[in-house]
Structure 1
Amino acid sequence: MDKVAEILAEASAEAVEPRFRALAAGEVMEKAPGEVVTIADREAEAIIARRLRELLPVPVVGEEAVAADPSLAQALHDEPAVWLVDPVDGTSNFVAGRPDYAVMCSLVRSGRTVASWIRQPATGTAYRAELGAGAWRDGERLTRPPAPADPAKLTGVLKSRFLDPDQRRLLEANCSAFGEISPGRSAAGIEYPDVTEGRFDFIFYWRTLPWDHAPGSLLLTEAGGVAARMDGAPYRPEAPGCEDGLLVAADPHTWELTRGILLGT
């Protein structure tokens, strides 16, 4: 666990942090409509992938590698163990000079996330989780604090960008039953710790790319929270496009309450 944390810290220090608010012309590219990638993403992923393979020689499914060759994500289903890497989670924030970005990876065995690491370079905060062994922030054991019982006091995030218009209108209307609703911080590596530590009580995501959600979902569930599909199935990392829709919440009661309100049931 410590060695992987070191790999992320060193890759961040070498390829990511020196370019924060210092990206040169030509170092930001569009990889898909509305989505950017930087030289920091690509260099950090190459460093992390190489060193993770030295540590445990299994396939590495990295966000940028999959952008270049989508078939690489099939390893999540075909291989008994896979590394997942998100070299700069929150790239749009990073490009804009906002500190809400993270460097993340996780280890998936037989379709389950068994270990995860999140580093927030702006603060130097490091999170990690291990299946059945707990969640940690800088060496301190994390336990999700209780959420309010009154839905009008719950705070949450609705990530509605990829919903179709009818679904978006329905969910946004139903959110009036809650307290404060935020659009989020545009980085799963910031948002999942926010739920884990009590700054939000729930988040509804639609698109669930595995490198975004595997690290944080394990962190949250090991701290006592819930990460599940809307039918109640526990989150498992899937190749892009296989499955969407994910509700994460402070605890089982909050998850059930939030799901019922969002769906109007």
Structure 2
Amino acid sequence: MNTDAVADLMREVADHVITPRFRSLDADQVMEKNPGDLVTVADQEAERLITAALLKDDPELLVVGEEATALDAGLPGRLPHAERAFTVDPVDGTKNFVHGSPDFAVMLSELHHGEVVRAWILHPAHEAFFIAERGAGVERDGRALPPTTTPHHLTVVTSSPRLEGTHGSLDLGPTAWSCGIDYPWLLEGRVHGLLYTRGLPWDHCPGSLMVRELGGVVAHLDGTPYDVGADRGRIGLLAASSQEAWDRIAPEVAHLYRG
């Protein structure tokens, strides 16, 4: 599928499966995959429809969806070796979606031999669409975004509540609990760093391409660039608006991790 066709697919699925259920879920339409890890009928149905359309277009494609991985934990391990693959996060920020917050997203990315080459982040409730192709920058709703900047005082959001607070020149606050919301915050300059404890591919492949396209850096705190073949867990994953921002943020947050 070309880039516009993927975007149209995402909009269609969101319009027919996700948005009608926003703030309208019945109790029996919300389940737990694990304690505190919610999934809804919207997640499940959206992923099935998106996966089926991608495979109809290319039956040889590897599709790694968040909900499919809940049933087959080996799927993400195939990403680095697949000639062509897609990651699918049908409702990123499911807890927000369940509790009526508009901060949720639909995210897809395309990979060739483990490298992200295209990415899509749709905000159904905010009516925004971010699209990137490797080497071609990032667009929001058809408008090219400028390179990110690095101010003197840096704002960082983290998925680790114990790290929140003011530390030197850094303010660490909470994420939106949706990578599909967090990464656009970084792209548009609302924050200058995103700090996570996990690097799941459907969460980070779309945003990592977009950040890099605008001159930013996505790497683990040991300096290793983000790689879909290695979830480095508690080493920490830091996305920053520039190399300068990454170099300023990383030592401080690494110190906090050790503390």
- Normalised by the length of structure 1, the TM-score is 0.90
- RMSD over aligned Cα atoms: 1.7
The CA distance in 2 between the partners of 1:123 and 1:85, in whole Å, is: 20
Q: Which residue of 2 aligns with 1:110?
A: 113
The CA distance in 1 between the partners of 2:192 and 2:103, in whole Å, is: 19
1:260 alignment partner, one of 245, 251, 254: 251
How many angstroms does 1:55 deviate by?
A: 2.8
1:200 alignment partner, one of 185, 191, 197: 191
The CA distance in 2 between the partners of 1:28 and 1:109, in whole Å, is: 34
Q: Which residue of 2 aligns with 1:69?
A: 72
The CA distance in 2 between the partners of 1:252 and 1:179, in whole Å, is: 16
Does the Cα contact within 8 Å between 1:155 and 1:180 map onto a contact in 2? Answer: yes
3-state SS, counterpart of residue 132 of structure 2:
strand
1:39-54 to 2 correspondence within 5 Å? 39-54=41-56
Q: Is 1:177 paired with 2:168?
A: yes
Equivalenced residues, count: 251
Amino acid at match of 2:232: E
Q: Is 1:37 paired with 2:39?
A: yes
The CA distance in 2 between the partners of 1:251 and 1:55, in whole Å, is: 37
The CA distance in 1 between the partners of 2:139 and 2:45, in whole Å, is: 27
1:49-198 to 2 correspondence within 5 Å? 49-57=51-59, 58-148=61-151, 150=152, 153-160=153-160, 168=162, 171=163, 175-198=166-189
The CA distance in 2 between the partners of 1:177 and 1:255, in whole Å, is: 15
Does the Cα contact within 8 Å between 1:144 and 1:197 map onto a contact in 2? Answer: no
1:66-110 Cα deviation digits (max 9, x unpaired): 001212223213422211000000000000000000001001111
1:197-236 to 2 correspondence within 5 Å? 197-236=188-227
1:202-238 Cα deviation digits (max 9, x unpaired): 0111111110000011111111111111122221223
The CA distance in 2 between the partners of 1:3 and 1:172, in whole Å, is: 40
The CA distance in 2 between the partners of 1:53 and 1:94, in whole Å, is: 27
The CA distance in 2 between the partners of 1:72 and 1:261, in whole Å, is: 35
Amino acid at match of 1:138: D
Does the Cα contact within 8 Å between 1:144 and 1:198 map onto a contact in 2? Answer: no
List gaps (5 residues or longer) in structure 2.
none
The CA distance in 1 between the partners of 2:221 and 2:20, in whole Å, is: 40
3-state SS, counterpart of residue 32 of structure 2:
strand
- Normalised by the length of structure 2, the TM-score is 0.92
Does the Cα contact within 8 Å between 1:60 and 1:82 map onto a contact in 2? Answer: yes
The CA distance in 1 between the partners of 2:191 and 2:14, in whole Å, is: 27
- CA gap 1:264/1:180 in 2 versus in 1, 3 angstroms: closer
3-state SS, counterpart of residue 49 of structure 1:
helix
Q: Which residue of 1 aligns with 2:232?
A: 243
Structure 1 moving runs of 4+ over 4 Å: none
Sequence identity (%): 44
Amino acid at match of 1:12: A
List gaps (5 residues or longer) in structure 1.
162-167
Does the Cα contact within 8 Å between 2:159 and 2:177 map onto a contact in 1? Answer: no
Does the Cα contact within 8 Å between 2:164 and 2:172 map onto a contact in 1? Answer: no
The CA distance in 2 between the partners of 1:64 and 1:190, in whole Å, is: 19
3-state SS, counterpart of residue 224 of structure 1:
coil
- CA gap 1:100/1:172 in 2 versus in 1, 3 angstroms: closer
Q: Which residue of 2 aligns with 1:164?
A: none
How many angstroms does 1:172 deviate by?
A: 5.1
Does the Cα contact within 8 Å between 1:113 and 1:236 map onto a contact in 2? Answer: no
